[in-house]
Amino acid sequence: MDTIRIYCKNNDQSYNVPIGSSLWEVYNLLQLELPYPVVSAKVNNRSEGLTFKLYNNKDIEYLDLRQSSGMRTYVRSLCFVLYKAVKELYPEGVLRMEHPVSKGYFCNLFLGRPLTLEDATAIKQRMKEIIAADLPFLREECHTTEAVEIFKAQGLDDKVKLLETSGSLYTYYNTLGDTVDFYYGNLLPSTGFIRLWDIVKYYDGLLLRVPNKVQPDRLEEVVKQEKMLDVFKEHLHWNQIMGLNNVGDFNQLCQHGHATDMINVNEALQERKIARIAEEIASRSSADGKGVKLVLISGPSSSGKTTFSKRLSVQLMTCGLRPYPISLDNYFVNREETPLDANGNYDYESLYALDLQLFNQQLQALLRGEEVELPVFNFTTGCKEYRGDRLRIDQNTILILEGIHALNPELTPDIPDERKFKVYVSALTTISLDNHNWIPTTDNRLLRRIIRDYKYRNYSAQQTINRWPSVRAGEDKWIFPYQENADVMFNSAMLYELAVLRSHAEPILSSVPRNCPEYAEAYRLLKFIRYFTPVQDKEIPPTSLLREFLGGSSFKY
């Protein structure tokens, strides 16, 4: 029997295996002892499903649910099961996988009537039956025109538009029994690989529950995120008004020459939202100085907090207030006092890397009308310095504080709530590839960061992708648990931005070497962003939030 040589990264061993073997067959042949069931693999640093067949020598790394690529494969497959159940129970119903929320995925099911608890129970039961049947997930490659005709026959116009505007000569579609769908990534070999999940009625839709990404043998706990859900709904409503429910709609609009109109409307909507936030802050301040005096702005990496704070300051000035920014970075404890992380390194992301006592003493003194001398942190010496920067505020002054810990109650425990206004900023992507393929909000932020790091910090895409998991871990610990504390949430994502980011990101991502682990993520991002018709950034105004990442902003950073 002809064999090929494979190198398995999981145990650092090489093997001869029969040519044409699938990844799943090789996995069983190797008898690896891994802590959790495998769901996909990297082959030569590119993500592949377990049914992928090997015909040449390869490097292989098997993945479970703890890796983002593995989790995406699992969730996609679970979504296909959900769609099949819905299609069989409600042939005229329309299912939309809309966005991640509450540690799961929010799904809207349009039945021409309100969704009931009985509907959710019936869907869950049918999903159980489909999983128990261990049906194979199959993938068929064909000419794009053939796939378009298949989806037209199914009435899946969202997929028709996506494929017609993608510019691809060949594409593929997925089948599960007699149900046809399209997913832009790997699926599991069969439904029997799905072991842990749940689906529950959640507000006016469904919440698809998935395993915990750290401990995949237990479900994620449902975390109430009512404010986050409201922000998504508000922006999805605007999408529908503009007729932009998915990327196919977006591409058609661009191809008909309306990209500039979309940019102008999107920017105007965002400015209107910022103006309303400023007006609310002004309404909560008072002539006697007893109202809001401190605006706290938090959000994850590359959410556009800095530009938002600058644009908010402009709007506050139109309301007769005088904003004054205070940088949390100047309140770092001296370097030798910085807490250590699990690896023994300085943990600058920790709340306790800040001199909380000094910070609160100075804030309280300012609120009493006293003058204080603000510190300046010297990052070279690792110590605070005082350079005569003195501040006293009056009744029209509003302090603007932007930082990852701004919504953490432990940051300002001694400041009364009526003196604070809290804003959470994030890029909450609300446009989907199609009804069943959402765009992760983290992808939006990662693309922003890759471009900014390359342009202004001399970091390659490989370096940024390598650091991203630790950035995300810090957000999970220090930002996301406090987002619902916000008085208002601001969505910094724009409908058009991924089309603009495409032309900037493509050359940067294409430079990631194929022989490095980060290539898999770079390849995935390239594949996904190429679904968008590219839009040039010349029409984007200099005050746009996107300018923080692309350059050309009228603000100084």
In the chain, the domains with their CATH numbers are 3-64 (3.10.20.30), 69-223 (3.30.980.10), 228-550 (3.40.50.300)
CA–CA separation, 277 vs 297, rounded Å? 12
How many whole angstroms separate alpha carbon 26 and alpha carbon 49? 13
Which whole-number Å values give the CA distances from 518 to 125, 165, 391, 441, in the listed order? 40, 29, 47, 19
**Separation of alpha carbons 60 and 57, rounded Å:** 10
Q: Does the predicted model carry a pTM greater than 0.85?
A: yes
Q: What is the pLDDT of residues 414-465, one digit of tens each?
A: 899 999 999 999 999 888 999 999 998 899 999 999 999 999 999 999 999 9
Indicate whether 1 pLDDT > 70: no
Fill in the DSSP letter of residue 177.
T
Token digits of residue 121: 């129970």
Helices 247-255 and 157-164: angle between axes, nearest 10 degrees: 50
Residues in the chain: 557
Tell whether the model's pLDDT for residue 286 goes beyond 80: no
Q: Which residue has the tokens 């992808």?
A: 443
* Cα dist from 117 to 114, 120, 467, 536, whole Å: 10, 5, 43, 47
Dist. CA 241–CA 234, nearest whole Å: 11
Q: Among the residues of 410-518, which ranges form H helices? A: 441-456, 461-478, 497-510
- Could you read off the pLDDT of 45-62 as tens digits, one per residue? 999 999 999 999 999 999
Q: Which amino acid is at 444?
A: N
User: Per residue in 130-174, pLDDT tens?
Assistant: 999 999 999 999 999 999 999 999 999 999 999 999 888 999 999
pLDDT (tens digit per residue) in 8-34: 999 999 999 999 999 999 999 999 989
Give yes or no for residue 285 having a pLDDT over 70: yes
> Among 406, 479, 405, which Cα is nearest to 442's?
479
**Across 9-133, where does the E strand assignment appear?**
13-18, 40-43, 46-48, 58-63, 94-101, 104-110
Torsion (CA) 534, 535, 536, 539 in degrees, nearest 10: 180
Structure tokens at 539: 């029409």
Q: Share the mean pLDDT of the chain.
A: 94
Residue 311 carries which DSSP code?
Answer: H
User: Rounded CA gap, 54 and 64, in Å?
Assistant: 20
